[in-house]
Chains A and B, each alone.
Chain A
Amino acid sequence: MDYRPEVISKLSAMFNAGHGTFLKDSPELFNRHREKAFNDFLRLGIPDRKNEAYKYTNLEKFLNYQYQDYFFPLPSDFREAERFHCEVEDLNVWNMVLLNGFFPHGEDGLVMLPGGIWVGSMKAAVRQFPSLVEKHYNRYVEDGTDGLIPLNTALASDGLFLYAPKNTVYTKPIQIVNLLHSDKDIFVQDRNLIIVEEGAQLSLLSCDHSISPRRFLTNTITEVYVGRNARFDIIRVQNQHDNSGKITHTFIHQERDSYASSNNISLHGGLVRNATWHYLGGENSETHSYGLFLADKDQHIANFVKVDHVAPNCNSTQLFKGVLDDNSSGAFNGRIMVHKDAQKTNAYQSNNNIILSDTARMDTKPQLEIYADDVKCSHGATVGQLDENALFYLRSRGIDVHEARLMLMFGFAHEVIKKISIEALRDRIDDLVQKRLRGELSRCASCAVQCN
């Protein structure tokens, strides 16, 4: 039976009941979009497997669930959250924690970093930079057929705001820890906006953790504007427990001569679906979408990518890899769309997966739509086992079969990790992935809660 009508009616009730709270506690700009967005959600509904982009991803386990109220954090919640330290910390980064999609300092939460880069909460940003935020907020989302996108617009109240004004450069990565911590089961909607103006450079490390043994579902939108000749990198490290669902929609809009990269490293999570949309709107731009996931038990990890080549002379690559064990499943859906004026496009896509058990399953689907004639596009996908010849080679040098398998898996994964441009971060993620493959990362190492 279709679970969705009931969930939609519950969400409607929640939306109507919570309306007063949203309106009171949220930026006026957010409120202005809610009503229409919720109607769009009602029109599009919750995507099911008839939707091409969700063909292999079943949301039911995480959507068909009675989450407790919409959540606004108390100051005491933040004190708790600040005790948390994540694995990649003590890197040379500027670091901040977002609790259940909210910034600790609410309306005062906006700081300027050396070099002139602003970081803080959306709420504060709307006050401090009203016309700037208005110019970019909800401008880059592409609803397509996915009702979860307008659902975020209808329900979100806060999130991360990052702003690199013209020609500002911040050389350290900015790290945001997205913490899920609650004594209730919650459905989180965070809304992030990143503006990298002309000639500016910024990199963001975003880490997802769930630390309380509750059921969580997160539905995140991140809009990114990358101006002329600007550069932006985002690296996500997703390490949530198996009772967490994480759905992200990232929209990267690029102007001419710009560079952007996205790298999704999914280490753990009951359900993870990352949708990354790259819009090459100006000539001579370059964009890269990378992803690595390691799944076991009953986890499901999906990556959806869409690269829109709108302007000519742009390059794009997609490189996604997955390792699947036990009953886990994965999906890759990568689209390249070359619009009719996008001559001299170079677009490349590759998806490789290793299956370690008889019951794991991977579905991969490349899609190319090309309306220009002078383009170079290539794509390839593989699903296979570890290479027996390579395994034997390692063993023939005295390396234990178990260790040899780990080395091959790690080598396979490393091809994605090595795309991370910040060396210290690359080493740290190498280390995390090694631990994950060795089964030493079943939970966040510094966390007191034994989730799994």
Chain B
Amino acid sequence: MKSEFLLQIKDLKASIDNKSIIKGLSLEVKPGEIHAIMGPNGSGKSTLANVLTGRDLVTVTDGSVTFEGRNLLDMSPEERAREGIFLSFQYPIEIPGVSMVNFMKTAINEQRKHRGLEPLSASEFLSQMREKKELVEIDSALTNRSVNEGFSGGEKKKNEIFQMAMLEPRLALLDETDSGLDIDALRIVANGVNKIRSADTSVIVITHYQRLLDYIIPDFVHVMFDGRIVKSAGPELALELEKRGYDWIRKEADIAEESWITDRKL
């Protein structure tokens, strides 16, 4: 049964080492939508991204997550990726000895196999690499190295967007991809995201700053506090947060303890 939602999270609860981190979170993302998630440090944004990508250090204790109507929580991390979920990591890891080229070739071909397609030929692959490299203005010197090895902070982030562009996901999760970027890199990253966005492709942008949202205009902005979404609104919410900080929401949330505002039409 095809769902109208690409991603549907219902009353999700999750913990790490028996410590409850996500405490009842619901979110619905339709194809083509862009959602921004903001919220103070430690509120659980990266943990949510970990749940969605299948990181096993997080244990889901309650609730459900479906992707195109299918139970996402049953799938291995690699299956989720092949189904079209992509995470741009907050802290991309360095993997010495594994070349970027070999890594990307393997990833692309695993995904193609999953979709019943033949592996890309060497020349097709290289031309795809070239095209996407240009898109994110990433230097060949980087893609000839080992995965993220010795990359600067900003280069690592650009490399995440490069991989996203190569893999053409259905749902991209960007976990603070904007932090540590200079102004040009920010524009490049935003540009990369806007290129992949389409009627089918949805994006969840986790960020602390309004400035990325100047380039990637979200349909919805959600505020996460202590493992829950406590407020959802349109793009104007991000501007307001920038001006006023989180305190007023904290107060509002305390008063409206029972009525988490997750209504999409708000």
Binding site for B on A (CB under 8 A): 387, 389-390, 392-401, 403-404, 407-408, 410-415
Contact = CB atoms under 8 A, between A and B. Distances in A.
Given A392-B77, A394-B103, A411-B146, A399 B98 contact: no
A407 B102 contact: yes
Contact of A401 (B53, B76, B97, B111): B76
Contact of B78 (A390, A400, A408, A410): A400
A412 B97 contact: yes
A390 B55 CA distance: 12
B97 A396 contact: no
Interface stretch (B35-43, B88-96, B129-137, B223-231): B88-96
B198 interface: no
B240 to A, nearest CB: 33
Contacts of A394: 95, 98, 103, 107
Given A394-B98, A395-B54, A398-B114, 4 more contacts: A393-B92, A396-B54, A407-B106, A413-B97
A393 B163 CA distance: 12
Contact of A408 (B53, B80, B98): B98
**What are the nearest 4 A-B pairs in CB distance?**
A411-B97, A398-B81, A411-B98, A397-B107
A438 B97 CA distance: 17
B233 to A, nearest CB: 30
Contacts of B93: 387, 389-390, 393
B78 A398 contact: yes
A401 B86 CA distance: 17
Contact of A393 (B95, B106, B114): B95
Contacts of B80: 396
B82 interface: yes
A394 B97 CA distance: 13
A408 B106 contact: no
Interface in B34-86: 53-55, 76-78, 80-82, 86
23 contacts: A387-B93, A389-B93, A390-B95, A393-B92, A393-B93, A395-B76, A395-B78, A396-B77, A396-B80, A396-B81, A397-B103, A397-B167, A398-B78, A398-B107, A398-B110, A398-B114, A399-B107, A400-B110, A401-B76, A407-B98, A412-B96, A414-B97, A415-B96
Interface residues of B, number: 29
Nearest to A398: B81
A411 B95 contact: yes
Contacts of B98: 394, 407-408, 410-411
A446 B81 CA distance: 40
A408 to B, nearest CB: 7
B97 A410 contact: yes
A390 B53 CA distance: 14
Most buried by B among A392, A396, A404: A396
Contacts of B54: 395-396
B87 interface: yes
Contacts of B76: 395, 401
B97 A415 contact: yes
Given A392-B55, A392-B77, A399 B95 contact: no
Contacts of A400: 78, 110
A407 to B, nearest CB: 5
Nearest to A407: B98
Contact of A398 (B55, B82, B97, B147): B82
A411 B78 CA distance: 20
Nearest to B110: A398
Given A392-B77, A399-B110, A411 B96 contact: yes
A389 B55 CA distance: 9
